[in-house]
Amino acid sequence: MNPFDILIFIIILFGAIQGFRKGLISGIISLGCNIIGLILAARNYQLVKVWLETKTSLNIWIEKVIYGRVLSLVEKRAGESQEQALESIFSILPKEFAAFLEDFQLPDLQLYSSGVLETIARTFTQSLTSSIMSIISFFLIFIIVIIIGEIIASIILSTLGTFKRTINRGGGFLVGGLVSFLGLAIFFGLLSPIISFITSNGGLESVRTSIIYPHLLNSFTLIQEFLQLNLLENLALPLDLDFQDFDLPLDWREMLPNPYNVDL
């Protein structure tokens, strides 16, 4: 087990201890609130998203924060795209002409101007911000329902008086651990596109080698199938930046030097 697995285990154990302390009834209520919260969040997050965008400036703040990083990513991908484009150009040329160009000093070709790159970055940032706002809205509903459930559970248990001491605390321990596990599965399941994007670029080594993380994702898939939800499709993050998705004016013929008009 790596540090990530240990952290997940501690969180689940903490939830189990809380369930043991509160008892089985509280654990069942918490489990029910997790399910209800998931359904309500999946069906109503768009309404909350619209409210947040019209009543707060959260989306503007997020867009400002991530724009600079997105622009850097776009510039990096543009450089890679330029190299691939030049390779494609040389591959379609006659071998004699391609060999001649290898010894010829070509000008620095720029496929995309700074204005075009900024437009791409701005469009990508707006799409990414919209998806982030959807996820925030989803978790906001989910957490509020859980908090309401905790309040209801406290009221019910307070009316039981000393009777709550006889409640099966072992059952509370198991249900509490299950609730924590399901909460983590939902959390990491929704963030799995971001996590996959980071791990594919060499980050989050402890998550990539985790033993528990795949089980969290599998549980998230089972939860979606059981409740007939498709959260990843509705809350998808546009992390696959492909220049083919953008309608950019580009004439490859203008980039090719004229073989009959070359200054030696």
Whether 243 contacts 81, CB under 8 Å: yes
Three-state DSSP at 153 gives helix
Whether 27 contacts 176, CB under 8 Å: yes
Tell me the average pLDDT of the chain: 74
On whether residue 43 sits in a domain, the answer given is: yes
Residue that wins the pLDDT comparison between 222 and 239: 222
Give the highest mean pLDDT range of 85-99, 116-130, 164-178.
116-130
How many structural domains is the chain composed of? 1
On whether residue 261 sits in a domain, the answer given is: no
Find tokens 């540090």 and name the residue.
Answer: 3
What residues make up the domain containing 249?
Answer: 10-255
Residue 253 has pLDDT above 50, yes or no: no
On whether residue 3 sits in a domain, the answer given is: no
Neighbours of 148 (CB within 10 A): 13
Give the highest mean pLDDT range of 18-27, 177-186, 189-198, 224-233.
177-186
On whether residue 62 sits in a domain, the answer given is: yes
Whether 206 contacts 2, CB under 8 Å: yes
Give the highest mean pLDDT range of 17-31, 36-50, 94-108, 198-212.
36-50
Residue 128 corresponds to which tokens in the numbers above? Answer: 């990414």
Kindly state the DSSP code that residue 162 receives in the 8-state scheme: G
pLDDT number for residue 168: 56
How close are the terminal C-alpha atoms of the chain, in Å? 65
Q: What is the amino acid identity at position 21?
A: R
Which band of pLDDT confidence, cut at 50, 70 and 90, is reported for residue 167? low
CA distance 144 to 236: 23
CA distance 83 to 89: 10
DSSP H helical ranges for 93-209:
95-102, 114-160, 169-190, 192-200, 205-208
Which band of pLDDT confidence, cut at 50, 70 and 90, is reported for residue 169? low
